[in-house]
Structure 1
């Protein structure tokens, strides 16, 4: 089914399938790649998606609460038993899928930020290709967030206050707003360079990226952590979690 999403002055026809949220990547990028090593600390942190028994038994921090009553209710619940490997995989499915999508954004950001920081383009990449990489990052982030806010988050919000748009308390949604403010500035600069309205200055490009880089990478990690098995089991049964699409 095709849906029309309008975001930041852009219109996207989006087909609701997993590939709509990302573009294909060949596999996780290693943070030991030289591109990643040139980035600031906030952009080298990645969520650990291991399905080992130790991780399945590790307690995570309690989710953000929509109010004092929810905090009281959460604290009064008894400690949950350890998940079996099969249960962990079921509850961790959304986090694993989301981290796959987010890895594309990390990789694309790393390419652009490395060039902006060092003043050197990746080998074999033209200036036009570098600028197009930046515009692609913006386009896919906008589309990804549009699908989340229109379809994915409302499903989760039925039980999880972290995804509720009402009340203005969702930190994840506030992060979306901050990210889009930074993306608008970056897109405006890149388009001016492509239209030859201004010369490309790598220090300016880096400045445009630094204005929202920290919140972007915090968001990419925090969203995956919120969807992690130990947190999701607090809100959903096994039957319910299997029916949530992504």
Structure 2
């Protein structure tokens, strides 16, 4: 049994995680939101689950380090400076950071990496994601996670080989590029499809999220898996043993 603290508890994901914790063998240590002190929550918890905002990351990592506990980070929209903070904190505590806590998406990323490694760059890769109208970042963290999986499969740098926001006369598609397209509307929890488009044939790998509970279950599984691990930076595939 673990005491799980939720950062961003008033948000959609925070509420879903709280419901999953309440229905599990674990205890809800509490939750905080913007303006609250993460250190006060950390001292009551065995592990923190963070679905807040990039601007809160530094304080949340500091609180986890001071309390000597693990933290699972599902916040999206992170930039290079945020990942540098995570890398530094991972020298002291166990941290899992991911753009998607769904177990299905974790397996999808594994399949995307495998497909990309076996299909040459004459197969174009396009990632299409759809989310609810309230989502503020694009491409989604999951789309970027899948793009990174494809880039890893091809042993290329994603930042140098991605195409986003096509508009106007863009010229022909760059060979080997990974394209992203984002759709926003309605109440879609999250749909992602990775298209591999070759000469006279296409392959599509998809994941459709019907309810945020799938992400909450994965977040709780990741949190419980982290407890007792050595300091370091971990990923969802490790949780599944991939």
Larger Rg: 1 or 2? 1
The TM tier, using the shorter chain, reads under 0.3
Q: TM-score, normalised by structure 2?
A: 0.26
Say which structure, 1 or 2, has more relative contact order (CA 8 Å, 6+ apart).
1
TM-score, reference length from structure 1? 0.26
More helix by share: 1
Q: Which has the higher strand share?
A: 2
